[in-house]
């Protein structure tokens, strides 16, 4: 029997799009014959996964996982895409999303590091490939973020939760809160801010964390508007700075008015909670994942979409 080398397994994977473990088994079953191994995979219904790869996968689920660490906590949010919302309601798909989110709790790095992580004896990437072959739709682990706090709590919120779930939905938010004091109170604060972020969609935690390109684009627009008003240069410059401050209030999490109490900003909410628990509190980070945001989606009913947008 021919030696089943790692390079041979990789070559079969590149040709078939099937997971490494299944490729290795196919080569073992066919004595290392590449073409026979491809036929073996086809016979097992596995190679069809590769044929799905060019389909748009903009549905699916955002999944959250949290682990208590005593004084602190760790949490992760992932986006696992599929082609249809029908698959998002599939128990096998939901189970995989949960397992991947839980695995992400122990991963530091980018999404490629998560894809390479072991999950029940196979990599996350291979698990997804096997899921594609079983369910019959293209799937994609698009992104993930992990937060940890040594002391404090992590608040989470899921909007548009899938039926019967609390950790899977269309929007998932994670908010990391560092601080001492009543951990339950910090967790409540984190959840309130997460709920707020789900609704308000902030672009950054602080003004300093806003993309310079975003700020310059807004400044250019505001400058053009101010100059078009015919105001003197000095007045126009003040108008620009005023509009930028308004933009920050609308776009930066800590500057935004709290959705539950618009008279209080998130920054003030944190300060008030710190005073109540008698210890400093800091929001160290947040992530808001909205399912399919930024992805092109295939429209199956253009007329219905137009009617929905126009109120018709």
Residue by residue, pLDDT tens for the chain (312 residues) are 568 888 888 888 777 767 778 888 889 988 888 888 887 887 766 665 555 544 556 789 999 999 999 999 999 999 999 988 888 899 999 999 999 999 999 999 899 999 999 988 899 999 998 888 888 888 889 999 999 999 999 999 999 998 888 899 999 999 999 999 889 999 999 999 999 999 999 999 999 999 999 898 888 888 888 888 887 888 888 888 899 999 999 999 999 999 999 999 999 999 999 999 999 999 999 999 999 887 655 444 434 443 443 344
CATH 1.10.286 residue window(s) in the chain: 211-248
CB 120: neighbour CB atoms within 10 A?
A: 10
d(CA 209, CA 215): 11
Domain 59-208+252-290 has what CATH class?
Answer: alpha beta
**Which CATH architecture describes the domain 6-51?**
Orthogonal Bundle (1.10)
- CATH 3.30.479.20 positions along the chain are 59-208+252-290
Q: Where are the beta strands (DSSP E) in the chain?
A: 59-69, 72-82, 118-119, 122-123, 139-149, 152-159, 168-169, 171-179, 257-258, 261-265, 281-290
> Tokens 């066919």, residue?
30
Task: Look up tokens 């998932």; give the residue.
Answer: 172
- β-pairing, 59-69 vs 72-82, is antiparallel
Would you state the pLDDT for residue 1? 55
CB 169, CB 62: distance < 8 Å: yes
Q: Is residue 114 within 8 Å of 143, Cβ to Cβ?
A: no
| 199 membership: H or E segment, kind and range | helix 183-200
Sign of the torsion formed by the C-alpha atoms of 274, 277, 280 and 283: negative
pLDDT recorded at residue 34: 86
Q: What is the pLDDT of residue 57?
A: 61
| Angle made by CA atoms 19, 23, 28, in degrees to the nearest 5 | 150
> Taking the domain 211-248, which CATH number applies?
1.10.286
Residue 120 has what pLDDT?
84
pTM of the predicted model, to two decimals? 0.76
The pLDDT of residue 130 is 87
């Amino acid at each position: 029997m021919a030696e089943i080398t790692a390079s041979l397994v990789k070559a079969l994977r590149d040709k078939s799009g099937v997971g490494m473990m299944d490729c290795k088994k196919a080569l073992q079953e066919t004595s290392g014959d590449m073409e026979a191994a491809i036929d073996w995979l086809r016979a097992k219904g596995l190679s069809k996964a590769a044929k799905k790869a060019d389909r748009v996968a903009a549905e699916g689920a955002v999944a959250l996982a949290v682990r208590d660490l005593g004084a602190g906590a760790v949490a992760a949010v992932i986006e696992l895409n599929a082609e249809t919302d029908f698959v998002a309601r599939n128990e096998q798909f939901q189970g995989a999303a949960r397992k991947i989110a839980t695995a992400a709790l122990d991963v530091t790095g980018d999404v490629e590091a998560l894809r390479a992580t072991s999950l029940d004896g196979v990599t996350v990437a291979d698990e997804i490939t096997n899921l594609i072959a079983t369910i019959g739709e293209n799937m994609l682990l698009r992104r993930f973020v992990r937060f940890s706090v040594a002391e404090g709590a992590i608040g989470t919120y899921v909007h548009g939760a899938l039926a019967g779930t609390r950790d899977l939905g269309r929007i998932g938010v994670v908010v990391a809160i560092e601080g001492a004091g009543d951990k339950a109170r910090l967790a409540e604060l984190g959840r309130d801010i997460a709920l707020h972020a789900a609704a308000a969609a902030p672009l950054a935690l602080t003004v300093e964390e806003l993309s310079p390109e975003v700020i310059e684009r807004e400044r250019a627009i505001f400058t053009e508007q101010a100059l078009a008003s015919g105001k003197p240069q000095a007045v126009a410059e003040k108008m620009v700075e005023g509009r930028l401050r308004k933009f920050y209030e609308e776009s930066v999490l800590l500057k935004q008015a709290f959705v539950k109490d618009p008279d209080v900003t998130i920054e003030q909410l944190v300060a008030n909670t710190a005073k109540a628990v008698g210890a400093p509190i800091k929001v160290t980070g947040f992530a808001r994942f909205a399912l399919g945001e930024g992805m092109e989606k295939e429209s199956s009913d253009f007329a219905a979409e137009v009617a929905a947008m126009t109120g018709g």
